[in-house]
Amino acid sequence: MKKQAIFLLLLWVHAYALEAQKTMRSVSSPSKNVQVRIGLNKEGTPYYIVSYFGATAIDWSKLGFNTKSLNLQSGFSFTKSAQKGHDEIWKPVWGEVDRIRDHYNELIYGLKDRSGHLVNIHFKVYDDGVGLRYEFPKSEGLNELVITDELTEFQMAGDHTAWWIPGDYDSNEHVYSTTKISAIDATWYNKEYAIATQHIVDPKLVQTPITMKMDNGHHIVIAEAGLTDFAALHLRVDNTTHKFSASLIPSADPAVKSVNQLPFNTPWRAILLSKDAAGILESKLILNLNEPCKLEGDLSWIKPQKYVGVWWEMHVGLATWDYEATQDMMSATGRKAASKHGANTENVKRYIDFASKYGFDGVLVEGWNVGWKDWFGKWKDEVFDFAKPYPDYDIDVLTKYAKEKGVRIIAHHETSAAVPSYERQMQTAYDYMRKYNMNSVKTGYVGKIIPKGEWHDGQWMVKHYVRVAAATGKNKIMLDAHEPVRPSGLHRTYPNWMACEAARGQEFNAWSTGNPPEHECILPFTRILGGPMDYTPGIFETRMNTYDPAKKEVVHTTVAKQLALYVTLYSPLQMAADLPENYEKRLDVFQFIRDVPVDWDQTKILNAAVGDYMTVARRQKGTHNWFLGSITDEQARNFSVRLDFLKAGKTYEAIIYEDGKDAHWESNPYPVNIRKVKVKKGDVLKLQLAAGGGSAISMKAL
Ligand code: NOJ
Ligand code: CA
C-alpha cells in the first residue's frame, strides 16, 4: 500500500515536472540562500516551492482563488515573467533600528485566465524570506472581484513545532499553544476557556503570524504584510500532510471573503526564514513589504512616548469606568463594582502630578466620556459620545493643569465595536481632542461588531482600522488601537499608528487565569513581528489579593521581569501600568522605567529561543547608552552575555536590576536586587533569571 502510494507520487511528480518545465521560472535572494520556483501544472494551476540553504522550506504548494465569476485556480496560461533586483536603505520615523535595508530580487510571473483576464504573481525574495502577492491589473469587462476563497497553500517540509493561537474571527487575545503541526487542534479553546468575544468555528484554523521550528533548528514564520483592503489571513492546517491553506475571514455574507475593485493587489503573504530564533526577531521583511510612509510634511509631531493612566485601577476593581459606578465591565463579569468613578478631576490631577514628577509624557484617562453605563456585552449602537465628558471630569481644568505640568492627556475612544457610530463621530472627536491639546488616542473595539455579521478580522473592519489610521494621521494624532486585527507592518505607511493591542495583554493577569510565564517569550516571535504591542508592562504589585482578599489572580512574572519587558517587548508607546502608589513605594526599582527609552538606533539579539527566553540589547536613539532586557519562561536560567556592542574606549555605568534571592514568579515575585557596576566593551555579565524572571540593565556612557 505504502509502496504503491510512493510510486503514484513519483509518477505524479514526474508528470508534473515535465509539464511544468516550460512554464517554470525561478528567482533567488541576493545571497542565493533563498530560492523560489514557480510553474504551472498540466491543469494550468500555479504551484511554487521555496528552498532555504538548499533544503525545502515550502514544498510544492498551490496558488489561486475561488471567486464568484471566474475560475482562478486552473486553466491559466503563462504569459511572461520579469525579474529585477532592488537595494535601498530607508529610515523609519521611529523603531528598533535607525535604518533598514530593503534588499531583494523580484519575479513577476504573468498569467492569463481562461477568459483572458490577467493575474500577476509577484515574489520578492530576500535573504530572510519571501513575500508573495497576487496583482490584478485593470481588465476589460472585469471591474470587481468577489473572492469566495483564497487557495494559497504552504506545504511544510516536516512536522515542525508550532507556536499558534486559534483562528478566531473576532479576537487574538489568546494564550499560545506549542504543539507539533500534526497536533494542532483548537477544540479546547472553545470548551475549557473563553474570552469575552470569541468566534472559533473550526478547530483546525490558526492565526498568522504562525511561527515554527524545524528539526534542523531553522525557523519559519507565515505572516502577512500590508493588510489594508482584504480579509485577514488565517490558515487551515492538515495535521496529516502538514500543509497550511489560506482561510480568509468571511464578511457578513459568509460566502464572501473579500470584494475588490480592479486594479488591486492582495496583501503580501510573508514567509520569514532564519537559521535560528534570533534571526526571526531581526527580520525586517514585514516592514519592507509595506508601502512607504503616506503621511506628508514634517512628522516631528510623531513622538515615541511613555505614559501612565487611570486604567489599572479599573482592571483590579478599585474604580469604575462608569460615572454612576453601578454597571460596568467588572460588575458585568460577575464581580461587584467599585463605588469610585476613576476618571474624576481630582484623581486625574493625581496622575498628572505623578507623570510630571517622574518624566512621563502622557496620561491615559479611560471612562472620561458618557456612555459606559450600558456598554459591555450588549450589541448596542450609539453607545458613546466622544465629545462629552462626565460631569465629574472637568476637561477645561484638566487641560490647563496638564499643560502647566508639561504632560498631555491621552484620549480614550472605546467604541464597544459600534463602528458606524464611531465613524460618524470621528472628525468631531478629533477636533475635540485638538481643542483640548490631546494628540494621542487609544481606541477600543470590545464586543461584537456592528454592522451585525461583520468580524473584527474581516475586510470591512480591516478597512475601518486603516481609515482611522489615515484620519488620525491627517489630524496629527497618534494612534493605539485595542482589539483590532493583528498588525501587518502598516506602521511603516502610517507611522502615527504607534501600537496595537491585538494580543493577550497584561490586563488578563488582573482578572483571568492570566498569561503564563512563557507568554512574553512567545509574543515577540509571533504577534509582534507585525508591529508594536501596547502590552502595558510594569506591574509591581503582582498579587490581586492585595486589592481584595477574595482574589486569586496574579501576574505570572517576577517584578524584575516586568522591568525587562520594556526592552524585550518593543514598542514606541510604553505604559507604566501600575498604580502611582505602588511605584512610589519602590522608587529605586521604578528608576529603570523612568530611564528606559522608547526609540532606538540599534538592536542586538543576544540569545533567543521561542517560548523559552530572549535577551536583547538596544541603543538609545542619538546616544551611546545601551539597555538590556533578558526574560525567561517558568524555568530559572543563567546566561553570560558579552558586551561586544558597547563603544570601544568608553566606560559605562551599568545599573543591573535582577531577580533577588529566592525570587520566583509565583512564590516570591517581589525581590529585585539592584547593583551598579562599571562596564566596557567585551566585558562579560552573568545574568541569573528566576523562574518567570528577568534582568534589566541600563548602561549609560560616561
Ligand atoms: C479592553 C482594552 O484592552 C483595555 O485596555 C480597556 O481598558 C478596556 N477594553 C476598556 O475599554
Ligand atoms: Ca483588550
Structural contact between residues 120 and 135, judged by C-beta atoms closer than 8 angstroms: yes
- The dihedral of CA 337, 340, 342, 343: what is its sign? positive
Give residue 535 CA to ligand 2 midpoint distance, Å: 10
Contact residues of ligand 1, CB 6 A cut-off: 311, 366, 414, 444, 446, 482, 501, 507
Evaluate if residue 13 carries a pLDDT over 60: no
**Predicted pLDDT at 1:** 47
Residue 642's CB is within 10 A of a number of other CB atoms, namely 12
DSSP state of 30: T
Strand 637-642 to strand 129-136: parallel, antiparallel, or no bridges (unpaired)?
A: unpaired
Q: How far apart are CA 86 and CA 102, in angstroms?
A: 7
**What residue's CA is closest to ligand 1, atom 7?**
311
Point out the ligand 1 atom lying closest to the alpha carbon of residue 311: 7
Average pLDDT over residues 679-699: 98
**Predicted pLDDT at 324:** 86
Give residue 445 CA to ligand 2 midpoint distance, Å: 8
The bound ligand whose nearest atom lies closest to the alpha carbon of 195 is: 2
Point out the ligand 1 atom lying closest to the alpha carbon of residue 442: 5
**What residue's CA is closest to ligand 1, atom 11?**
414
The bound ligand whose nearest atom lies closest to the alpha carbon of 503 is: 2
Give residue 676 CA to ligand 2 midpoint distance, Å: 38
**Predicted pLDDT at 197:** 87
Give residue 18 CA to ligand 2 midpoint distance, Å: 52
| Torsions phi, psi for 170 (to 5 deg) | -120, -10
Average pLDDT over residues 612-628: 98
Residue 339's CB is within 10 A of a number of other CB atoms, namely 10
Summarised one tens digit per residue, pLDDT across range 56-105 is 999 999 999 999 999 999 999 999 999 999 999 999 999 999 999 999 99
Give residue 332 CA to ligand 1 midpoint distance, Å: 14
DSSP state of 158: S
Of 32-46, 111-125, 188-202, 593-607, the poorest mean pLDDT is in 188-202
Give residue 503 CA to ligand 2 midpoint distance, Å: 7
Evaluate if residue 588 carries a pLDDT over 80: yes
| Torsions phi, psi for 188 (to 5 deg) | -65, -25
**Predicted pLDDT at 210:** 98
Q: How far apart are CA 403 and CA 309, in angstroms?
A: 16
Point out the ligand 1 atom lying closest to the alpha carbon of residue 482: 3
For a ligand 1 pocket test, name from 507, 536, 575 the mutation site with the most ligand atoms within 8 angstroms of its C-beta. 507
Point out the ligand 1 atom lying closest to the alpha carbon of residue 536: 5
Structural contact between residues 148 and 254, judged by C-beta atoms closer than 8 angstroms: no
Strand 55-62 to strand 153-156: parallel, antiparallel, or no bridges (unpaired)?
A: antiparallel
**Predicted pLDDT at 116:** 95
The bound ligand whose nearest atom lies closest to the alpha carbon of 173 is: 2
**Predicted pLDDT at 187:** 94
For a ligand 1 pocket test, name from 171, 446, 515 the mutation site with the most ligand atoms within 8 angstroms of its C-beta. 446
3-state secondary structure (DSSP) of residue 677: strand
Give residue 446 CA to ligand 1 midpoint distance, Å: 7
CB-based burial label for 391 (10 Å; 0-12, 13-18, 19+): exposed
Same fold, 2-288 and 537-702: no
Q: How far apart are CA 198 and CA 455, in angstroms?
A: 10
Give residue 74 CA to ligand 1 midpoint distance, Å: 46
Q: Which residue has the higher pLDDT, 339 or 163?
A: 163
**What residue's CA is closest to ligand 1, atom 3?**
482
For a ligand 1 pocket test, name from 172, 365, 414 the mutation site with the most ligand atoms within 8 angstroms of its C-beta. 414
Q: How far apart are CA 166 and CA 235, in angstroms?
A: 10
| Domain residue spans of the chain | 2-288, 537-702
Summarised one tens digit per residue, pLDDT across range 223-282 is 999 999 999 999 999 999 999 999 999 999 999 999 999 999 999 999 999 999 999 999
Summarised one tens digit per residue, pLDDT across range 18-51 is 455 789 999 999 999 999 999 999 999 999 999 9
Residues designated catalytic: 507
Could you tell me which of 319, 314, 312, 317 has the C-alpha nearest to residue 335?
A: 317
CATH architecture, domain defined by 537-702: Alpha-Beta Barrel (3.20)
Point out the ligand 1 atom lying closest to the alpha carbon of residue 444: 11
Q: What residues contact 26, with CB distance under 8 A and at least 6 apart?
A: 35, 36, 37, 38, 107
Could you tell me which of 211, 213, 175 has the C-alpha nearest to residue 194?
A: 175
Q: How far is CA 268 from CA 121, 421, 458, 624, in A?
A: 11, 31, 16, 36
Q: What is the secondary structure of 420-476 as a DSSP string?
A: HHHHHHHHHHHHHHHHTT--EEEEE--SS-BSTT--TTSHHHHHHHHHHHHHHHHTT
Q: What residues contact 629, with CB distance under 8 A and at least 6 apart?
A: 563, 564, 565, 566, 567, 568, 615, 616, 694, 695, 696, 697
Amino acid identity of residue 400, one-letter, is K
**Predicted pLDDT at 9:** 56
Point out the ligand 1 atom lying closest to the alpha carbon of residue 321: 10
Q: What is the C-alpha end-to-end distance of the chain, expressed in Å?
A: 72
Residue 417's CB is within 10 A of a number of other CB atoms, namely 24
The CATH classification of domain 2-288, taken from the options 2.70.98.10, 3.40.50.970, 1.10.10.60, 3.40.50.450 = 2.70.98.10
Confidence of residue 176 (pLDDT cuts 50, 70, 90): very high
Summarised one tens digit per residue, pLDDT across range 430-443 is 999 999 999 999 99
Give residue 309 CA to ligand 1 midpoint distance, Å: 12
Q: What is the secondary structure of 565-613 as a DSSP string?
A: HHHHS--SEEE--S-HHHHHTTHHHHHHHHH--S-EEEEEEEEEETTTE
Q: Which residue has the higher pLDDT, 663 or 332?
A: 663
Evaluate if residue 7 carries a pLDDT over 80: no
Confidence of residue 683 (pLDDT cuts 50, 70, 90): very high
**Predicted pLDDT at 190:** 82
Summarised one tens digit per residue, pLDDT across range 446-482 is 999 999 999 999 999 999 999 999 999 999 999 999 9
Point out the ligand 1 atom lying closest to the alpha carbon of residue 315: 7
**What residue's CA is closest to ligand 1, atom 10?**
414
Question: What distance separates the 2 farthest-apart alpha carbons in the chain?
Answer: 81
Point out the ligand 1 atom lying closest to the alpha carbon of residue 314: 7
Give residue 173 CA to ligand 2 midpoint distance, Å: 7
Rounded to 10 deg, the angle between the 395-405 and 345-358 helix axes is: 10
The bound ligand whose nearest atom lies closest to the alpha carbon of 319 is: 1
Summarised one tens digit per residue, pLDDT across range 488-540 is 999 999 999 999 999 999 999 999 999 999 999 999 999 999 999 999 999 99
3-state secondary structure (DSSP) of residue 271: strand
DSSP state of 545: G
The bound ligand whose nearest atom lies closest to the alpha carbon of 442 is: 1
For a ligand 1 pocket test, name from 198, 314, 331, 366 the mutation site with the most ligand atoms within 8 angstroms of its C-beta. 366
**Predicted pLDDT at 325:** 73
**Predicted pLDDT at 2:** 56
Give the angle subtended at the CA of 28 by the CAs of 24 and 33, to the nearest 5°: 130
How far, rounded to the nearest angstrom, does the alpha carbon of residue 408 sit from its chain's CA centroid?
25
**Predicted pLDDT at 329:** 65
The bound ligand whose nearest atom lies closest to the alpha carbon of 483 is: 2
**What residue's CA is closest to ligand 1, atom 6?**
444
